[in-house]
Structure 1
């Protein structure tokens, strides 16, 4: 190994150690993403990197120290990647998580075989699910709604030129003109119980909008609203999918079972085997 490459490797280890000391779960990965951001190289091309300029070292030092205080990585880079799309993110919007890609994938699969599926994304946040559906199902007519004003601003940026019908408002009464015509309703609602405040990772608790995180004492208030609104939006036989906390694998689907107007109520696990999202079909 050349002296320059050895010096850079030592610097990368020092940055990773600083992140680890700050409680960051994936320090080496985060260092690589920050290096990619600073140098403009892809992650794959970082292996060819021999040294940084003095300015890049200063920039990395600043970004690593900020990340060590648990500022979300995506707030530092201004970008998040979700399935096959790129999103602008920052303070004021919930940063999309990789596990939500499974819910988006389900919504995309649910559109297959439909000539011009009508899809409604409730609680769109950054617009991640809506943008992914519009990108992967070009024939779909996608509608999205977000209540929080700062988050809505980010969704506007991300959904511009996608053809998605984006509106600011409450999911409880969104898109009344679509009642009875929608094929797929998808939602990543807030679902953390208020009592779980202390257990939430500081990246989320201190930086994500609380409107996107917490939902009543049991974390299920938004899901109850979703169940009622989806029942009105969907055509008979239409489907709904919603993310929930891993401890809600029985209670979240239970809301739909108890309502008595849904069939095929199922819960789905993520790649780690944790309960992640529910799906249901409106009875014909």
Structure 2
């Protein structure tokens, strides 16, 4: 090792320093985040970062400065996904940033329910709609995992829709159709023909301000808040779903862990049948399904 290598900063030390900074800022998984940020700077995966740290690899000054800047932003609780520009969702790496809701792991379970229902349709070209698609997470999961399906993704926010378009350009095939518009009156041309209606709507009650700064300060408010009880958009979804779905069609709605019972009541009251609430991987009730009569 030459003199320059001897005096170069080490990646392992930068990771430790960054983790201490993030821990002091209250970031839940500081070492995980700093390793992911280092991987973003270096253009490698987290495993390669860990291996390089174990080897005692140096960290070039330019990369060290870039990592320090990202750590400072993360310490201000800017979402990790905004800093890296991507959010993993099932087999997808979705582009995300300001103006769009960052998809969460629990939504992968919602997508699975929709995909299972769509794959079970005994027709060559089943139809699905994702209402309030945001980044396109649920819609693109359905379109790519059930490639014989036709999938429509509806989003009313121009800022979020720009991210939908970006992700559809990467992952969407001819079977993915994007619509800029309000879910309340979307797709009248599909009335009575849709097999699966899916949505991750805003469902946080207006006075239930999220504790996490990443959510409270950076997720778009229109993607979070759903009225006094959080169910204003769910009520609209129920009626729109009845309009869009064919008899036997399925609706899949993500929600908060305490909202299963009132959402089943909304769906049943509107005429849906067999309303059922499903847990996510942490065994919290996070999705409700029903069948159109």
Q: TM-score range by the shorter chain?
A: over 0.9
- The answer on 1:173 being equivalent to 2:176 is no
- How far apart in 1 are the matches of 2:11 and 2:82? 25
- The answer on 1:230 being equivalent to 2:230 is no
Give matches, 1:88-237, under 5 Å.
88-114=95-121, 115-160=124-169, 161-163=172-174, 164-197=176-209, 199-237=210-248
Gaps of 5+ in 1: none
Residues 90-137 of structure 1 show CA distances to partners (whole Å, capped at 9, x for unaligned) of: 111111111100011111111223321100000000111111111111
Call closer, same or farther: CA 1:262–1:46 in 2, change over 3 Å. Answer: same
CA-CA distance at 1:5 after TM superposition: 11
Call closer, same or farther: CA 1:145–1:3 in 2, change over 3 Å. Answer: same
- How far apart in 1 are the matches of 2:6 and 2:279? 47
- How far apart in 2 are the matches of 1:45 and 1:253? 46
- The answer on 1:68 being equivalent to 2:80 is no
Residues 151-177 of structure 1 show CA distances to partners (whole Å, capped at 9, x for unaligned) of: 011111111253311111111110000
CA-CA distance at 1:4 after TM superposition: 9.0
Preserved CA contact (<8 Å) 1:262 1:281: yes
SS at match of 1:265: strand
- How far apart in 2 are the matches of 1:5 and 1:110? 56
CA-CA distance at 1:280 after TM superposition: 0.6
- How far apart in 2 are the matches of 1:273 and 1:252? 18
Preserved CA contact (<8 Å) 2:35 2:50: no
Call closer, same or farther: CA 1:5–1:139 in 2, change over 3 Å. Answer: farther
Q: Normalising by the residue count of structure 2, what TM-score does the alignment of the two structures yield?
A: 0.91
Report the equivalent of 2:63.
Answer: 56
Report the equivalent of 2:275.
Answer: 265
Call closer, same or farther: CA 1:4–1:189 in 2, change over 3 Å. Answer: farther
Report the equivalent of 1:43.
Answer: 46
Report the equivalent of 2:258.
Answer: 247
- The answer on 1:276 being equivalent to 2:279 is no
- How far apart in 2 are the matches of 1:69 and 1:6? 24
SS at match of 1:162: coil
The RMSD of aligned alpha carbons is 1.7
Preserved CA contact (<8 Å) 1:70 1:202: yes
Q: How many residues align?
A: 280
